Every structure is written in structure tokens, then in C-alpha cells.
């Protein structure tokens, strides 16, 4: 087996060199350092997968957190006979499925990576799914680079993996010493990484020579015998291993070998056997554990209720129809009301603690394994996980994000707790949906719509109890809106959502008493937006006042302007333009000029 692995490692190096040479770019040196580690894993009898069925639920999962080592990923599957030498030559070319960093175009990619520090979190989600949900024997392997070990998200993942005793998770740390611009924090000190990992509750295996196949095999054997702890294999490697004059040399990150350097590296390989194929063992044949939740009853709302509470109730209610739901929360479940689901289905709820980046990454891992993660925290705190959120978009993941405590209307807690940029952030994610329900009835309906949708959905919820506007028979759908007040004599349209919708309705009542008729629209779907209804209102009223508890940049006002480009309508935006303070919600709405009084004043100005 060892001799065969040596030949396969040589073949993998050949494909790495060939692909990056043809591309004229890429990361051959970063790929070369992990060749033996990955060849032993895939072809040494440890990694088990059905290559004819990449989505087989029993397959082991392999995540390249160091996504710039994509040439190595593709070369492994070339050695396994699933990528031809001709296709290897298309690396990084437009239209090729072999992109510069792994994407879902390549069928063996578990999740798009390359934004460093995210792969281990994705692995945590996949491992949670295998151990705590589906009860399947598959293992999740994550290849990490030493540079990304400086990322806090990695250590968030480390602590949560230990907390959930993920003994089906194996991290493989490629300590090749050199990052993009020089030496990494610990250089080749594998013991430093080992001490950190053990302090976080992991079983650490250190390899002084990460290219010694016999020692690598011993490490994988040891990893397979550890129970109740995740395992990390920490291997000292050489960047550019096997490339004469380049091995362990600085200045070669992200550079393809060309000309004489390429010829020397090819010559150093010696004879390459292209006739051999790496064999990946078949997985066990098991079916996921059966699961049939009861669900819950739809609440009847008569008194004012917070939309965040309706979110929690809706999760319980729809779980029977959507058994794939799992709920993750960042130690805020008593405020987001995700705790309602936790109390009913504790085995489908995962406390992720104050570690939002890892929470989102783990949600992606769960989504890629067929679950529907519903992820909640304060709206403000999702901003720190935006990188992970945008990568969820590139992963075609179906995830519901619920951000509570949005806007200055949360009151006395002050600016640090007020989500004021969240709509802009989620609007910017490719293919996303942004929903902003105003009452509990709409919230319950829209949570159901979000569960039926496929993609990233953000639901913005409000801290304060709000009056009930709608009946259970009212329909809500993604891309819709509600015209709540309307006459033939309307001289302007007020557009609100969430807390500002009630200010708009109060303003409409006062204006009506003064003989001024205005239309009021509940823009509960900010993205996609109800262009048809807005265009009709623009033609009939000619004036819009958009009022939102959010900064103007990227918010509802800009969404409406984009939808009405070319329309003959005057658009005025009332939004958060002053630095917020602590105070009562009423004081803050007046201070920021998004209150009933500010709306009336603006309407009178424009007519």
C-alpha cells in the first residue's frame, strides 16, 4: 500500500504542476505541501465515499478550508479517475468547473471555500448532522492551512466542536510555515498548535514530517480510535515540497511554475505512472435515523405581540411540515424566542454561544447535508458574520436568518445593540430574500413562506409588541406587499415596515382629519420588492415618503428607488441619520425623525 501511495502522490503532484502551468496562475506550492496528507487519506483506506454519487448521505465529507489548494483537490479526483488530464489543463479558465477556489461547479466540493477560516465551521455543521441528527457513521475531514489558524472563527469552531464531542470530525493542519507574505505566527512549531488544540478540548496528533507516509498512516489510525473528542492532525510540511529551489522558499505563494522552474520540478518527480488509479473505498450503507415531529398549533393573536415571539411560535408550528428544520442560536434564544422551539424539540436545537461566525458556518454545513437551519441572534450581531453569510449565498444554501432587536425602536439598550445596517447587508447577498413583517400574523405566515423557499432568507423582527393588523386569512408571499390605506384622492404614499408602519398609520389618521388623503403600503418584502404595486402607487399619487428604522444606505428607500427607476415620482426617505442614543422607543423615533410627527411634516412639505 505504501509504495502505491508514493506513486499516487507523485501523480497528484504532476497534475498540480500541469494544471497551474497551463493556467499561468494558482497555488501549486500550497497544494504540494499537503499532497501526502491527502493522498494517504483518500487512497489509504481511511476516506470512504461513493464517487458515482457525491451526495450519498453515507459518504465521508472532505472540506478544503484552505481553498487556495484547489489544484490539489482536483488532482486527487484526477488520480481517482474522475477528472481527465485534459480537464486538468482547463484549471482557472472561464467556463471550467475547476475554478481558482472550489465551488459547487465541481461535484466533489462540499462547500465553496477560499475565504479563510470558514471550513472548520462548515465541518462542525456536517459533523453535528452525522452524530446528533442523522445517526450516520460518516466522518468529516477538514484540511486547514496554518495561516488561517490566526482567524478567530477557527477557534470558535474548535470550542463548539469539543463541546458537542464531535469524534466524527478530523481536522488536518498543513503547517507549511509560509503564508502569503512570509512566515506564519508559529512557523514550523507544531507543538504550539498542539497545545492550543488540546486546551480547546481536542485530541492532537503532531507529525514532525508531514510527508512521511508511514507516520501519516499511524496518525489516521490513531484518529480513528478516539472517542468523544474531535481530532486534529498537525503536520510539519514543506511549502512547494518536491520542487527544486522552491521547496520551503519564501515568495512563491500563488505563483505557477513556468519555464525552467516547471521543467526542473517535472524532472524531480521522475517517472510518473499515469496508468494507476487511486481507489476510494465505498461507504457503509445506512439510512438516516427516522424522524417525525409533531408540529404545533397556529397562535391566535388578538392582543399586541412581538414579531420575534411569532417567529419562535412559527418554527414550532411548521416543524411537522418541515422536519428538516434545525435551530441554531447565539445565546439569545430567550430574546429571539428560538427557545420556544428548544423547549419543544431540544434535540433539534443547538446552542452556538456568542460565536456568530461559527454559527453561520455550521449552519452552512447543516444545510449542505439537507437540513434547514434557522439561525437567530440580534440583527446587529449578524454583521460580524457577513463573510460567512455571503459564502452561504455562493453555496446555494437554504438557510433562514432571523435578526431580532432591529432599529432604534429597541430603546434604552443603546446604539451597540441596534441593528441598523442589516437590511443592506442581506440585500447585498446574491439571490437573497429580505422580509420585514410588521405584526405577528404576517410573521407566522412569512416564516412558512421562508421555509418553502430555496435560498437565503432574512427575517427582520421587532423587539416591541406591535398591534395586530391582519387576519389569519390574509395571504403573504415573497415579493409581495400590502396596501393598508387607499383612496382615489391620495396625494402621496407612505411606505413603512415593522415599527415604522404603525407610525405611518398614525400619520395617515391625523392627515385624514386635516383633509389630506394618503396611501399606506406595508413593504413586508424588501427583496424581492413588489414593483407592480409600487409603480401603480407612483402613477396615482406621484409622491412617496419611505420611512424606515434603518440607515438610508442600502435600506428600504434605496430598494424602492431602484424599483421605480424611470418613474415620474418624487421620493423622500426618512431614515436613521443621527447617531442613536439610549432612550425610550418613542423618544428615539422622534429624535431620528421617523415618527408620526416627522412623517406628517414631510407629507405637508412635498404637497
**Residues 477, 30: Cα–Cα separation, whole Å:** 47
**Percent of the chain clearing pLDDT 90 (strictly above):** 98
Q: What is the pLDDT of residues 435-445, one digit of tens each?
A: 999 999 999 99
Instruction: Identify whether residues 313 and 446 lie together within a single domain.
Output: yes
Instruction: Identify whether residues 541 and 592 lie together within a single domain.
Output: yes
Per-residue confidence (pLDDT) for residue 409, from 0 to 100: 96
Q: In what order do the strands lie in the sheet with 525-527?
A: 349-351, 325-329, 372-378, 399-404, 456-460, 433-435, 525-527
Instruction: Identify whether residues 49 and 198 lie together within a single domain.
Output: yes
Instruction: Identify whether residues 255 and 394 lie together within a single domain.
Output: no
Residue 94 has a CB neighbour count (10 Å cut-off) of 6
Domain end (from 269, 294, 318): 269
Per-residue confidence (pLDDT) for residue 333, from 0 to 100: 97
Instruction: Identify whether residues 89 and 222 lie together within a single domain.
Output: yes
**CATH number of the domain where residue 250 is located:** 3.40.50.970
Cβ-count burial 264-281 (b if 16+ within 10 Å, e if not) = ebbeeeeebeeeeebebe
Q: What is the pLDDT of residues 483-515, one digit of tens each?
A: 999 999 999 999 999 999 999 999 999 999 999
Q: What is the pLDDT of residues 301-343, one digit of tens each?
A: 989 999 999 999 999 999 999 999 999 999 999 999 999 999 9
Q: Is residue 471, in this structure, part of any structural domain at all?
A: no
Q: What is the pLDDT of residues 253-291, one digit of tens each?
A: 999 999 999 999 999 999 999 999 999 999 999 999 899
Instruction: Identify whether residues 50 and 101 lie together within a single domain.
Output: yes
Cell numbers linked to 305: 405581540
Per-residue confidence (pLDDT) for residue 298, from 0 to 100: 81
Cell numbers linked to 215: 507516520
**Residues 75, 287: Cα–Cα separation, whole Å:** 31
Bridge partners of residue 43, in order along the sequence = none
**pTM score, two decimals?**
0.97
Instruction: Identify whether residues 431 and 494 lie together within a single domain.
Output: no
Instruction: Identify whether residues 235 and 122 lie together within a single domain.
Output: yes
Q: Is residue 278, in this structure, part of any structural domain at all?
A: no
Per-residue confidence (pLDDT) for residue 2, from 0 to 100: 66
Contacts of 35 (CB under 8 A, 6+ apart): 9, 12, 13, 16, 72, 211, 241, 242
Write out residues in the chain with pLDDT < 70, as ranges.
1-2
Instruction: Identify whether residues 52 and 194 lie together within a single domain.
Output: yes
Which positions are catalytic?
A: 356
Q: Is residue 230, in this structure, part of any structural domain at all?
A: yes
Per-residue confidence (pLDDT) for residue 297, from 0 to 100: 81
Domain end (from 427, 460, 493): 460
Per-residue confidence (pLDDT) for residue 1, from 0 to 100: 52
Q: Is residue 189, in this structure, part of any structural domain at all?
A: yes
Q: Is residue 280, in this structure, part of any structural domain at all?
A: no
The kind and range of the H/E element at 376 are: strand 372-378
Range of the domain at 152: 2-269
Instruction: Identify whether residues 163 and 263 lie together within a single domain.
Output: yes
**CATH number of the domain where residue 509 is located:** 3.40.50.920
Instruction: Identify whether residues 79 and 196 lie together within a single domain.
Output: yes
Q: Is residue 285, in this structure, part of any structural domain at all?
A: no
Instruction: Identify whether residues 95 and 149 lie together within a single domain.
Output: yes
Whether 503 contacts 595, CB under 8 Å: yes
Domain count along the chain: 3
Q: Is residue 245, in this structure, part of any structural domain at all?
A: yes
Amino acid at each position: 500500500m505504501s509504495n502505491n501511495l508514493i506513486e499516487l502522490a507523485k501523480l497528484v503532484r504532476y497534475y498540480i504542476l500541469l494544471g497551474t502551468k497551463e493556467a499561468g496562475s494558482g497555488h501549486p506550492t500550497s497544494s504540494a505541501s499537503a499532497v501526502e496528507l491527502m493522498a494517504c487519506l483518500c487512497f489509504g483506506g481511511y476516506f470512504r465515499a461513493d464517487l458515482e454519487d457525491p451526495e450519498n448521505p453515507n459518504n465521508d465529507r472532505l472540506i478544503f478550508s484552505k481553498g487556495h489548494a484547489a489544484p490539489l483537490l482536483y488532482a486527487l479526483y484526477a488520480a481517482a479517475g474522475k477528472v481527465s488530464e485534459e480537464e486538468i489543463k482547463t484549471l482557472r479558465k472561464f467556463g471550467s468547473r475547476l475554478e481558482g477556489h472550489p465551488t459547487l461547479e465541481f461535484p466533489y466540493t462540499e462547500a465553496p471555500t477560499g475565504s479563510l477560516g470558514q471550513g472548520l465551521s462548515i465541518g462542525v455543521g456536517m459533523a453535528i448532522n452525522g452524530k446528533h441528527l442523522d445517526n450516520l457513521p460518516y466522518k468529516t475531514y477538514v484540511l486547514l492551512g496554518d495561516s488561517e489558524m490566526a482567524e478567530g472563527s477557527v477557534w470558535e469552531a474548535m470550542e463548539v466542536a469539543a463541546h458537542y464531542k464531535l469524534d466524527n470530525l478530523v481536522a488536518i493542519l498543513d503547517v507549511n510555515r509560509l503564508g502569503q507574505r512570509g512566515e506564519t505566527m508559529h512557523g514550523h512549531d507544531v507543538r504550539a498548535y498542539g497545545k492550543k488544540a488540546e486546551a480547546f478540548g481536542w485530541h492532537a496528533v503532531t507529525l514532525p514530517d508531514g510527508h512521511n507516509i508511514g507516520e501519516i498512516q499511524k496518525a489516521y489510525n490513531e484518529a480513528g480510535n478516539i472517542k468523544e473528542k474531535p481530532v486534529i492532525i498537525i503536520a510539519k510540511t514543506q511549502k512547494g515540497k518536491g520542487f527544486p529551489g522552491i521547496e520551503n522558499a519564501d515568495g512563491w505563494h500563488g505563483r505557477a511554475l513556468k519555464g525552467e522552474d516547471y521543467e526542473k520540478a517535472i524532472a524531480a518527480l521522475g517517472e510518473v505512472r499515469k496508468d494507476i488509479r487511486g481507489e476510494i473505498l465505498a461507504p457503509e450503507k445506512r439510512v438516516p435515523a427516522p424522524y417525525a415531529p409533531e408540529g404545533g398549533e397556529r397562535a391566535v393573536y388578538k392582543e399586541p405581540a412581538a414579531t420575534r415571539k411569532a417567529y419562535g411560535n412559527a418554527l414550532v408550528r411548521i416543524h411537522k411540515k418541515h422536519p428538516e428544520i434545525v435551530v441554531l442560536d447565539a445565546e439569545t434564544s430567550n430574546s429571539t424566542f428560538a427557545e420556544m422551539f428548544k423547549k419543544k424539540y431540544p434535540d433539534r436545537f443547538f446552542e452556538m454561544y456568542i460565536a456568530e461566525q461559527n454559527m453561520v458556518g455550521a449552519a452552512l454545513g447543516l444545510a449542505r447535508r439537507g437540513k434547514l437551519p434557522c439561525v437567530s441572534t440580534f440583527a446587529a450581531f449578524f454583521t460580524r458574520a457577513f463573510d460567512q453569510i455571503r459564502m452561504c449565498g455562493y453555496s446555494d444554501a437554504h438557510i433562514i436568518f432571523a435578526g431580532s432587536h432591529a432599529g432604534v425602536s429597541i430603546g434604552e439598550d443603546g446604539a451597540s445593540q441596534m441593528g441598523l445596517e442589516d437590511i443592506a447587508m442581506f440585500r447585498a447577498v446574491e439571490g437573497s430574500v429580505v422580509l420585514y413583517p410588521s405584526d405577528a400574523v404576517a410573521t407566522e405566515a412569512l416564516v412558512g413562506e421562508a421555509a418553502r423557499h430555496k435560498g437565503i432568507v432574512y427575517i427582520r423582527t421587532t423587539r416591541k409588541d406591535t398591534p395586530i393588523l391582519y387576519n389569519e386569512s390574509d395571504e403573504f408571499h415573497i415579493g409581495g406587499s400590502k396596501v393598508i390605506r387607499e383612496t382615489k384622492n391620495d396625494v402621496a404614499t407612505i411606505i413603512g415596515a415593522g415599527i415604522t408602519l404603525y407610525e405611518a398609520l398614525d400619520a395617515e389618521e391625523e392627515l385624514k382629519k386635516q383633509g389630506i388623503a394618503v396611501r399606506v403600503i406595508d413593504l413586508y418584502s424588501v427583496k424581492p420588492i413588489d414593483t407592480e404595486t409600487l409603480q401603480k402607487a407612483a402613477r396615482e399619487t406621484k409622491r412617496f415618503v419611505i420611512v424606515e428604522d434603518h440607515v438610508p444606505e442600502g435600506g428600504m428607500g434605496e430598494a424602492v428607488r431602484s424599483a421605480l427607476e424611470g418613474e415620474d415620482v418624487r421620493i423622500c426617505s426618512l431614515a436613521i441619520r443621527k447617531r442613536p442614543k439610549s432612550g425610550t422607543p418613542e423618544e428615539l423615533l422622534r429624535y431620528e425623525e421617523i415618527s408620526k410627527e416627522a412623517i406628517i411634516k414631510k407629507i405637508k412639505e412635498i404637497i
